[in-house]
Structures are given as structure tokens and as C-alpha cells.
Amino acid sequence: MDYQYIMAYDTVLEALADPTRREIFERLRDGPRPVGKLADGLPVSRPAVSQHLKVLKEAGLVTDRKDGTRRYYGVNREGLDELRAYLDEYWEDVLANFAVHLERDTAAKDKKNDD
Amino acid sequence: MDYQYIMAYDTVLEALADPTRREIFERLRDGPRPVGKLADGLPVSRPAVSQHLKVLKEAGLVTDRKDGTRRYYGVNREGLDELRAYLDEYWEDVLANFAVHLERDTAAKDKKNDD
DNA sequence: ACTAACCGTAAGTAATGGATTACCAATACA
DNA sequence: TGTATTGGTAATCCATTACTTACGGTTAGT
């Protein structure tokens, strides 16, 4: 089986790096929208929006549902999980490491003051 | 006064979209490193690393400290705050909105079953 | 069945961005 | 004071990518 959605945090980062895609993703915040509605008011053409939606979909950030001649795109609620987890983990790591070095530096400083 | 660091979530996303920059950022996870050490083993040249560090710095993700002829780069512990906050907020919004529509749909379904 | 609305894909183009090499400035050290 | 180490910047090149227009396919409605 081949997976259509990736959702790895790096793919998500690359998908959200483009301002137009961020704007589209933003417009999905409060519910699914058809492609036309999403393109409406954007400074780019509708086909461009289709292409962006494809990238967002492959990153696992959105899902689509067909309804007649329209296709509704909505956010995939698990799409951000990996990225959020990665950032949390990274942050924890940095804080922990900072604490270690602060302790070490303090110890070194204390030792220096021993003379 | 002009701010050297931006740290807006969109700038952070654009900075972390590049795989080489992610690798550099990753190498800073457990403490500051000089540029040469960071470039060591990477598939790109040292000047390339310098340029990436500039982007990371302007995004507010890293800070630098000069020590002799070396320049140590380390993670800025507040660098990820905005992005993390944005993702959390977005996620909350999506969940809340999903709940609302689920409720509404359920109500509609109930009404439909009323005949 | 014909027409209109909606959307995805293909092909081509222009712009962005990541890489390189070459160069220069600053510090350390003999 | 010369020489080596370290690293930032400039100029340039090339690959990627974000756009456009043109087209075709599918569904709805008359």
C-alpha cells in the first residue's frame, strides 16, 4: 500500500513555508470550503490554488471531499500533530540542556572562587 | 530602533523549511557550536552554512556570541514560542469549530429523523 | 443532449532561493 | 609583524518552484 498523506514534520514545514499556502490554510480554519471560495480574493489564479491544495494535501494538512461538481477542502485534524510534537520535544531538549550547562558553569565559577 | 530578530511565526516557518537549515538547527539542540563545527560533515560549504545561520538568526531562532576568532551559535530559547503559540491556537480553533459543526449536523440529523 | 459551473492537470515561463568560488576582515599566535 | 585560522559577504550560477494560460473531465440543470 502506498500512503497518500505524509504528515512528517519536515513536509509540513515545507508546505507551510509558502505565504499563499498559509493564507489558504488560514481560510480553512473555521470550516471546509470549495476550491472556488478559497481562490476568491486571493491574488493568484484558481489553478494555482489547486496546486497549493495538492501540496497541502500531500503534507497531510488538509483532506478533501467531493460534493457534486464542487470539492470541499478542510483541515486534517491530525495534520499538525507531528510538527507540534517535534517542536515540543526540541524545546524540552533545549531547556534541559540549558539547565545542565548552567549548572556546570555555576560549578566552574564556584571552583574558580575557591582560591 | 530597528529589531534584528523577527521571530514572527511565518518567518520561522520559512527558515525551517530548508532541510540544511533544519540540520543545522538540529545540531544546535544540545548546545552552542562554532560555525566550522556546524559545517563539519554537512554536504555544503562553510559559506553556505554562514548564510543559513544568517537566515536562522533573522528568524530569531538562534543567537551568536563571538569568542576570539570563532563565533558560537546557539538556539534562542524564545525562538519557537510564536510558532508554537500559533499552532496551538490554530489547533484549538479547528477543534472548537469541528465540535460546533458536529453539533449542528447532529441537530440536523435529529430533525431529519423527526418525520 | 446541450450548456454551464467547477476543478484538476499539462506546458511553459519567470522568479526565488540555495549553492559555489573568490575575496576580505578580524583575531590568535609564532 | 607576518602568518594561520575563522568566518562573513559579494557575485554568480543553477535548480526549484510558484505562477500563468490552455485544455479536458465531470456533474448539474434545462
**DSSP β-bridge partners for residue A64:** A73
Residue B56 belongs to a domain with what CATH number? 1.10.10.10
**B109, part of any domain:** no
**DSSP β-bridge partners for residue A79:** none
Confidence of residue A4 (pLDDT cuts 50, 70, 90): low
* Overall size of chain A counted in residues: 115
Kindly state whether B95 is in contact with chain A, defined as any CB-CB distance less than 8 angstroms.
Answer: yes
Q: Can you give the residue range of the structural domain that contains B67?
A: 9-75
Confidence of residue B94 (pLDDT cuts 50, 70, 90): very high
- Residue A42, CB, strand D, below 7 Å: no
| Type of residue numbered A98 | F
Confidence (pLDDT) at A2:
46
**A35, part of any domain:** yes
- A22 within 8 A of B10, measured Cβ to Cβ: yes
Q: Of residues A7 and A65, which shows the higher confidence score?
A: A65
Q: Of residues B53 and B97, which shows the higher confidence score?
A: B53
**B16, part of any domain:** yes
**A55, part of any domain:** yes
Question: B78 phi and psi, to 5 degrees?
Answer: -100, 0
- Residue A36, CB, strand C, below 7 Å: yes
At which residue does the C-alpha cell 521571530 appear? B7
The three cell numbers locating residue A115: 582560591
B13 and A31 in contact by Cβ < 8 A? no
Residue A85 has pLDDT above 70, yes or no: yes
B77 and A83 in contact by Cβ < 8 A? no
The number of distinct structural domains making up chain B is 1
**B54, part of any domain:** yes
In the 8-state DSSP scheme, what is residue B40?
Answer: T
Confidence of residue B115 (pLDDT cuts 50, 70, 90): very low
Q: What is the mean pLDDT of chain A?
A: 88
Cα distances (Å, whole numbers) of residue A11 to A5, A15, A80, B44, B74: 10, 6, 11, 21, 25
Overall average pLDDT of the B43-60 stretch: 97
**A50, part of any domain:** yes
C-alpha B101, offset from chain centre: 31
- B75 within 8 A of B28, measured Cβ to Cβ: yes
Partner-chain residue, chosen from A29, A87, A98, that has the shortest CB–CB distance to B90? A29
Residue B40 has pLDDT above 90, yes or no: yes
Confidence (pLDDT) at A108:
52
Helix axes B19-27, A9-16, angle to 10 degrees: 120
Dist CA B100 CA B106 (whole Å):
10
> What residues in A contact B91, CB-CB < 8 Å?
80, 84
Confidence of residue A5 (pLDDT cuts 50, 70, 90): low
Cα distances (Å, whole numbers) of residue B75 to A71, A87, B38, B53, B102: 42, 13, 13, 11, 42
- Residue A68, CB, strand D, below 7 Å: yes
How much of chain A, in percent, has pLDDT values that exceed 70?
83
Dist CA A35 CA A73 (whole Å):
7
Confidence (pLDDT) at A105:
59
Dist CA B81 CA B79 (whole Å):
6
**B43, part of any domain:** yes
Dist CA B98 CA A32 (whole Å):
10
Kindly state whether B90 is in contact with chain A, defined as any CB-CB distance less than 8 angstroms.
Answer: yes
Dist CA A49 CA B85 (whole Å):
27
B13 and A10 in contact by Cβ < 8 A? no
**B94, part of any domain:** no
Confidence of residue B98 (pLDDT cuts 50, 70, 90): confident
- A75 within 8 A of A62, measured Cβ to Cβ: yes
From the list A92, A98, A6, the residue with the least C-alpha distance to A56 is A6
Weakest mean pLDDT among A3-12, A23-32, B93-102: A3-12
Partner-chain residue, chosen from B14, B75, B98, that has the shortest CB–CB distance to A94? B75
The three cell numbers locating residue B88: 496551538
Confidence (pLDDT) at A7:
74
